[in-house]
Chains A and B, each alone.
Chain A
């Protein structure tokens, strides 16, 4: 069961993001912060219509896109975990957009 929208407390602080797979712990947190109802995705929506957030890209396509995007990372240390993660996310985002 996945969330259809972000869940926030009364001050607007994010408690769980859209697309999060709900667990008993989430429900405890929601109750603690006074959230009585949340919108969830239908089974069909969970399979792929959740805004593209979970779309799958093959490892090969991802690696090819990462190699293409490395040009923009020329001034940074790609051995640094922060930039490794950014390159992975950038490649994923680009691959999904190109799809």
Chain B
């Protein structure tokens, strides 16, 4: 629990619009148990036919080099068991979110999955270890916005209008009006669900990576991916204006400017294939 009662209250109410799948808790227990085998993980996922199909399609998508994966066990070998657990969560969240009319979930997920793919490609270029967590953190980076628009819809709209009118980043106005921003809300929610700090910190500080103690570099990758996504109109983030760079964020990564176009073009092609897998009805 956090020290903010308003934030705790929102997290407590989140179950009405978003909840981790029941399978996630079992997967989490299994992954953390030293005697669990890949087959045990595969057995749990296989109980959910829709999830199994999506994980297999993802494992056979261009993200993993079209690897002819036909079982969840092979997907776990290729992607990693923790990564499959977290992908299962992300895929299930996309499928189950319920939002009020007027909020385009398609645009939201297009932006979020786009951000995840770009972050993964930046991490690959920079030869970072464990690249899947960038994909997952990217997919979930704006989950706090879903909670705000789902549970405090009028306030969320008023904050967005004020940000657009006053030419300020959305998270500035959120901090002023709520005492926390959508990054912090999302990060706290994911921590409440049991996700590890190497994902929750990236979500919490995606607008201010310099504050992410211990995860500055990782968070900067999500920060840049989010901005690239906003600028190149991958879906629609809730920001009308492109978010500013956090101080020294660009210099922190050593990402050559000439690489941005390649990363973007590659991500654009991957998004065309990945998004339908994520969004398709079960």
| Chains A and B come from one and the same complex | yes
Q: Measuring CB to CB, which residues of chain A are less than 8 angstroms from any residue of chain B?
A: 6, 8-14, 17-19, 51, 53, 72-77, 80-83, 85-87, 89-90, 93-94
B63 touches A76 (CB 8 A): no
Contact flag A10-B65 (CB < 8 Å), given A17-B266, A81-B257: yes
Contact flag A75-B241 (CB < 8 Å), given A11-B65, A89-B231: yes
Contact flag A73-B232 (CB < 8 Å), given A14-B266, A85-B257: no
- A17-B262, A17-B266, A94-B233 known; 13 other A-B pairs, CB under 8 Å? A13-B124, A17-B265, A72-B230, A72-B240, A72-B242, A73-B231, A75-B244, A76-B242, A76-B245, A82-B250, A86-B260, A93-B232, A93-B233
The interface residues of chain B, by DSSP majority, are classed as helix
B182 shortest CB reach to chain A, Å: 17
B244 touches A18 (CB 8 A): no
A72 touches B266 (CB 8 A): no
B262 touches A75 (CB 8 A): no
B237 shortest CB reach to chain A, Å: 11
Q: Is B282 interfacial (CB-CB < 8 Å)? A: no
- B 203-236 contacts with A by CB, 8 A: 224, 227-228, 230-233
For A77, list chain B residues within 8 Å (CB).
Answer: 244-245
Q: Measuring CB to CB, which residues of chain B are less than 8 angstroms from any residue of chain A?
A: 62-65, 67, 78, 121, 124, 167-169, 224, 227-228, 230-233, 240-245, 250, 257, 260-262, 264-266, 269
A37 shortest CB reach to chain B, Å: 15
A56 shortest CB reach to chain B, Å: 15
| Chain B residue at minimal CB-CB distance from A9 | B65
Q: How far apart are the CA atoms of A13 and B126 in the complex, in Å?
A: 12
A6 touches B62 (CB 8 A): yes
For A19, list chain B residues within 8 Å (CB).
Answer: 265
